[in-house]
Chains A and B, each alone.
Chain A
Amino acid sequence: MTTNVYDKLIFELSSPGRVAWSLPEMDVPEGDARKLLPEKHVRKDAPALPEVSEFDIVRHYSRLSRMNYGLDTHFYPLGSCTMKYNPKLNEDMARLAGFARLHPLAAEALAQGALQVMHELAQDLAEIAGMDAVSLQPAAGAQGELAGVLMIRAYHLSRGEKRTKVLVPDSAHGTNPASTAIAGYEVVEVKSLPNGEVDLDVLTRTLDTDVAAFMITVPNTLGMFEPRIVEITELCHASGVQVYMDGANLNAILGITRPGDLGFDVCHFNLHKTFTTPHGGGGPGAGPVGVKAHLEPFLPVPVVTKDGDAYALDWKRPSSIGKLQAFWGNFGMLVRAYTYIRTMGPDGLRSVSDNAILNANYIMKRLETDYDVAVPGPCMHECVLSARRQKKLGITATDIAKRLLDLGFYAPSTYFPLIVEEALMIEPTETEAKETLDQFCDAMIQIAREAETNPAVIHDAPVTTPVRRLDQTKAAREPNLRWTRRA
């Protein structure tokens, strides 16, 4: 219950004079450092940061961590986010001094090992996706999307075509329209069929010479493979339209099918999903982007190249869309993904998708009598349920999510995709064992029964978490975005 829960912020532990740092002595004769700087640049008062001991720090942040559900401690079936086990070996490798302590502007000759990792990872991702070239620079999926759409834009402009629109299905992730808008395009939302598939009639009517690209997620956000995907990409190409694949769901198709072979011109990868880099409470991720040969000239600079045994950063690419972050990509994440791919090998990666699909179908089957499924199976790596039946009893998808927290599980994604009423999007991933899936399904079935017999226990939920349901309206109406000492 919520009594005796830790409720401190670090500022509230502060005691003037405590220190948690150990810094070297001033060993140069310069004396008062502040006298070296013109007064107008110097801070008047020391910043109001906490004064605590090292052990205060360790205990405070350890306690805060225990107020989280994480993948290491809880099943985390957050759909579309591929919350799979993050191997510990990846962490050891990313922390090797030769990687973690390498300066980004080290001369190429002094960074050959790092450049080799990047070059090989880009090649591996290109093979996995059936693409001709990959840039590792984007910092996350959304930045990969922006890079991809900008490359499409540059491609059309290079051919003297000023196309103005990008098509995005109504079932798409929010980043798709947002990234497209930043790239300067008008976003045209395309209505999907009720089963989440692309409506080819609508698509045919919408495609014209003003359309630069069609952006879709495969498998789609209902967890289904788009059965007519090859027709779709061919239809687009016939109108000169480039096809972009949102790679958020790549975990479903490793070694089974490849975006490039399906006709896609661009796709991004979420290394923090399919390739096991940790989610970190919201990032960092990494969002490499792969392209077909005709888009290669437009890749972000620099591109890692190999000449004989020597690796280099190639900046001389006049058609490039430019840069997306200051340096070369989220390198620490790249080392982790590289370690994972080398751990799994081709057969292991294929087995990843097979088991991710098996686990999702198992959950879908076990829950199909107590919940409505959005689309009949088999599904790919995730399944979408609707709580519309429970809603008639006054229980929403949010209520179910909160009750799951009490039963020891993190919640699925809720209310996404937008085209499914009371959506619950469940992605178990291949790393979960059958008994965990069974426990989760038992909990979901229990909640469905409670909706009929004891809805109060659901409405009250959660009661085992550090806080109970929170007042979102108050948070938005009276924004309190930083701590201040109470008067």
Chain B
Amino acid sequence: MASRYIANTPEEQRRMLGVIGAASLEELLVKIPTKARLARPLGLTPALAETDLIRHLKALAARNADADSHVCFMGAGSYDHYVPSPINHLISRGEFFTAYTPYQPEASQGTLRTIYEYQTMIAELTGMDVANASIYDGASSLAEAALMAHAVTDRSEIVLSRGVHPLYKRVTATYCEGPGVRLRDVGAPDGVTDLAAAKKLVGAKTAALVVQTPNFYGCLEDVAAAAEVAHAAGALLVVVADPVNLGVLEGPGKLGADIVVGEGQGLGVPISFGGPNLGVFAAKNELVRRMPGRLVGATVDRDGHRGFVLTLQTREQHIRRAKATSNICTNVALCALVATIYLAMLGRRGLVRVGELSTAKAHYASERLARVPGVSLRFAAPFFKEFALKLPKPPERVVARLARQGFLAGVPLKTFERSLGDCLLVAVTEKRTKAEIDAFTAALEKAVA
């Protein structure tokens, strides 16, 4: 049966084979040894007509409790922020959507210009000199930062705060396995990194100290103090930060970070069951030639007009092969475009407003929720838009019960940190209304009673 995605008709195939001088399609496969051939059709579900397939996928989608059908208080690295309507329309333009890596810059100025805008915006927000064109997600960005710190300092230990997202730590461990970089933990018993303990751990072998702010528990870290600890030992400070918060929070670069990485999903990227996401990566100027990933630079064309190209490519795998700074090739350019349009739309004042609304609503929610009998805030440290609640009933069961009432109540912390088995991580973005927060508080009160 003909496929709507293949143009050639049987008659056209015959004419093309005639030009080639082959009697059949089969004749083009002569180099494949018979014993290597698959002698049966693939064992896959038969093709579905478009209408049947839509019905099937809608039925599958309907089995998921999404953030449209439920009021979302979940975070832990993926947040339900506002996504302005034009983003989806603009990124869906085929000229952006169906192009690839801008290897021919003259025919890719659209992509190159948006990446240059993106690099500028991320550098501005993070308080760093340069940002790259993107890494896969926040976790792989951190892993790349760890390898980069190892290469820059020629030291083989990374000290990570326990306030860093536990899943980011697992990804970093995977990337550090081959090069033999050792990861060491420093505690965050009160919700923020124990910097006195960090000072003892960070030493002559330490390539970098890593802190996240706000950290996995939502608490704000003292980045300047962490920078002092790292730099006193000649180590780099790597800060994991969520760029959507940086309208209100200080750019980590201004507080002493050498590398800033983070998850840019909040900048207009759909939560989409955790991927694709947007790995943000920014660094100081002196580290630029050791950075992973693509960089776009401004230059001029033959007539002296401004133009943009991929640059400093001698860092990259297609040139340097085994000696490249990273193996990354395909990145998440389209998500970077989403973030660019998002940041252009929110602009100077809108991004500040997003941060102000999120933090005010989160503080309102925390106050209301902590007044529920048996419920309390787990940590006293200052937080931004997310906080850990201690519950009198198992959080998993509370989550299941509240889901039936239309709430995605938060993320139980048991699977991440056994000692926090009675805790629920709750995130509040600018999208949540006072009415939703009040209804959630009432529902939680019943669920834990």
Residues of chain A with a CB closer than 8 A to B415's CB: 315
Stretch at the interface among A199-207, A235-243, A280-288, A447-455: A280-288
Complex: chain B residue closest to A481, CB-CB: B130
- Produce 1/0 per residue, A87-125, CB < 8 A to B: 101011111111111111111011111101100000010
Q: A7-B305, A37-B384, A321-B177 are in contact. Are A279 and B98 (CB under 8 A)?
A: yes
- Produce 1/0 per residue, B100-140, CB < 8 A to A: 11111111111101101101110111000111011011111
Q: Is A462 engaged at the interface, CB distance under 8 Å to the other chain?
A: yes
Residues of chain B with a CB closer than 8 A to A225's CB: 29, 31-32
How many of A's residues come within 8 Å of B, CB to CB?
208
Q: Is A139 engaged at the interface, CB distance under 8 Å to the other chain?
A: yes
**CB < 8 Å: which of B101, B321, B328 contacts A281?**
B101
Q: Give the contact-size bracket for chain B.
A: 35 or more
Q: Is B419 engaged at the interface, CB distance under 8 Å to the other chain?
A: no
Q: Is B351 engaged at the interface, CB distance under 8 Å to the other chain?
A: yes
Asked whether, in the complex, the Cβ of B274 is within 8 Å of the Cβ of A434, the reply is no
Asked whether, in the complex, the Cβ of B64 is within 8 Å of the Cβ of A111, the reply is yes
Q: A43-B251, A106-B408 are in contact. Are A182 and B288 (CB under 8 A)?
A: no
Cα–Cα, bound, A217→B330 (Å): 18
The distance from the CB of B252 to the nearest CB of chain A, in whole angstroms, is 11
Residues of chain A with a CB closer than 8 A to B77's CB: 104, 326-327
* Given A361-B28, A470-B105: 20 more A-B contacts, CB < 8 Å: A54-B86, A83-B100, A93-B53, A99-B273, A102-B64, A102-B66, A113-B64, A139-B276, A143-B136, A282-B331, A283-B331, A326-B137, A326-B167, A330-B136, A350-B42, A362-B16, A411-B104, A432-B7, A471-B302, A479-B312
21 contacts between A and B (CB under 8 A): A23-B82, A24-B431, A36-B359, A43-B249, A43-B250, A47-B125, A49-B124, A68-B107, A95-B270, A97-B61, A97-B68, A103-B78, A110-B403, A331-B273, A349-B42, A361-B20, A405-B106, A476-B314, A480-B297, A481-B123, A482-B120
The distance from the CB of B320 to the nearest CB of chain A, in whole angstroms, is 8
Residues of chain A with a CB closer than 8 A to B313's CB: 476
Asked whether, in the complex, the Cβ of B42 is within 8 Å of the Cβ of A254, the reply is yes
**CB < 8 Å: which of B7, B82, B174 contacts A321?**
B174
**CB < 8 Å: which of B137, B294, B348 contacts A46?**
B348
Q: Is B322 engaged at the interface, CB distance under 8 Å to the other chain?
A: yes
Asked whether, in the complex, the Cβ of A100 is within 8 Å of the Cβ of B330, the reply is no
Q: Is A27 engaged at the interface, CB distance under 8 Å to the other chain?
A: yes
- Produce 1/0 per residue, B159-183, CB < 8 A to A: 0000001011011011101111000
Complex: chain A residue closest to B340, CB-CB: A10
| Chain A CB within 10 Å, residue with most, of B48, B50, B321 | B321
Residues of chain A with a CB closer than 8 A to B295's CB: 479, 481
| Chain B CB within 10 Å, residue with most, of A27, A174, A178, A354 | A178
Q: Is B206 engaged at the interface, CB distance under 8 Å to the other chain?
A: no
Q: A105-B78, A480-B298 are in contact. Are A326 and B274 (CB under 8 A)?
A: yes
The distance from the CB of B95 to the nearest CB of chain A, in whole angstroms, is 4
Q: Is A420 engaged at the interface, CB distance under 8 Å to the other chain?
A: no
Q: Is B287 engaged at the interface, CB distance under 8 Å to the other chain?
A: no
Residues of chain B with a CB closer than 8 A to A83's CB: 98, 100
Asked whether, in the complex, the Cβ of A431 is within 8 Å of the Cβ of B6, the reply is yes
- Of residues 212 through 238 on chain B, the ones whose CB sits less than 8 Å from some CB of chain A are 213, 220, 222, 224
Asked whether, in the complex, the Cβ of B96 is within 8 Å of the Cβ of A68, the reply is yes
**CB < 8 Å: which of B31, B165, B314, B349 contacts A326?**
B165
Complex: chain B residue closest to A482, CB-CB: B120
Complex: chain B residue closest to A327, CB-CB: B274
Residues of chain B with a CB closer than 8 A to A279's CB: 98-101, 330
A-side interface mostly: loop
- Produce 1/0 per residue, B276-302, CB < 8 A to A: 110000000000100000111111111
Asked whether, in the complex, the Cβ of B273 is within 8 Å of the Cβ of A327, the reply is yes
Asked whether, in the complex, the Cβ of B434 is within 8 Å of the Cβ of A282, the reply is no
Cα–Cα, bound, A62→B56 (Å): 34
- Produce 1/0 per residue, A52-89, CB < 8 A to B: 10100110111011111111111010100101111101
Residues of chain B with a CB closer than 8 A to A230's CB: 33, 35-36
Residues of chain A with a CB closer than 8 A to B403's CB: 107, 110
Residues of chain B with a CB closer than 8 A to A487's CB: none
Asked whether, in the complex, the Cβ of B327 is within 8 Å of the Cβ of A98, the reply is no
